[in-house]
Amino acid sequence: MDVKAVLLLALSGLILVIVLIVRSRKGPRPRLRPLPAFLDLWKQAGYAAESGGAIHLALGSGGINAEDAVTSLAGLQVVEALANTAVSYQSPPIVTVGDPTLLPLAQDILRRAYERNGCAELYDPGNVRFIAPSPTAYAAGAAHVVASEKVTASTMDGAFGTEVSLIADAGARRDMDQLAAAANPSALGALYPAIDRLAIGEELFAAGAEMTEERSDATSLLAQDILRVILVLIILGTVLGTVGRALMGG
Apex CA 160: angle with CA 157 and CA 164, to 5°? 90
Ranges in the chain, pLDDT < 50:
17, 22
Distance CA 199, CA 179 (A): 8
- The predicted-structure confidence for 187-242, as pLDDT tens digits, reads as follows 989 998 888 788 776 667 666 666 655 555 555 555 555 555 666 666 666 666 66
pLDDT score of 234:
61
pLDDT score of 207:
65
Distance CA 32, CA 208 (A): 11
- Cβ atoms within 10 Å, residue 230: 18
Q: Which residue in 224, 218, 163 sits closest to 191, CA to CA?
A: 163
pLDDT score of 166:
96
**Three-state SS letters, 138-192:** HHHHHHHHHHHCCEEEEEEEEECCCCHHHHHHHHHHCCCEEEEEECCHHHHHHHC
pLDDT score of 212:
57
Beta strand pairing call for 197-200 and 54-60: unpaired
pLDDT score of 101:
94
**What is the Cα Rg of the chain in Å?**
21
The residue ranges of DSSP E strands in the chain, in sequence order, are 54-60, 94-97, 128-130, 151-159, 177-182, 197-200
* Residue 223, φ and ψ in degrees, nearest 5: -65, -40
Distance CA 173, CA 231 (A): 44
Architecture of domain 34-212: 3-Layer(aba) Sandwich (3.40)
pTM: 0.74
Distance CA 95, CA 97 (A): 7
Helices (H), ranges, 196-214: 203-211
Mean pLDDT, all residues of the chain = 80
Q: What is the DSSP code (8-state) at residue 38? A: G
Domain residue ranges of the chain, discontinuous segments joined by +: 34-212, 214-250
* Contact criterion met (CB below 8 Å) for 200 and 188: yes
Contacts of 32 (CB under 8 A, 6+ apart): 206, 209, 210, 218, 221, 222
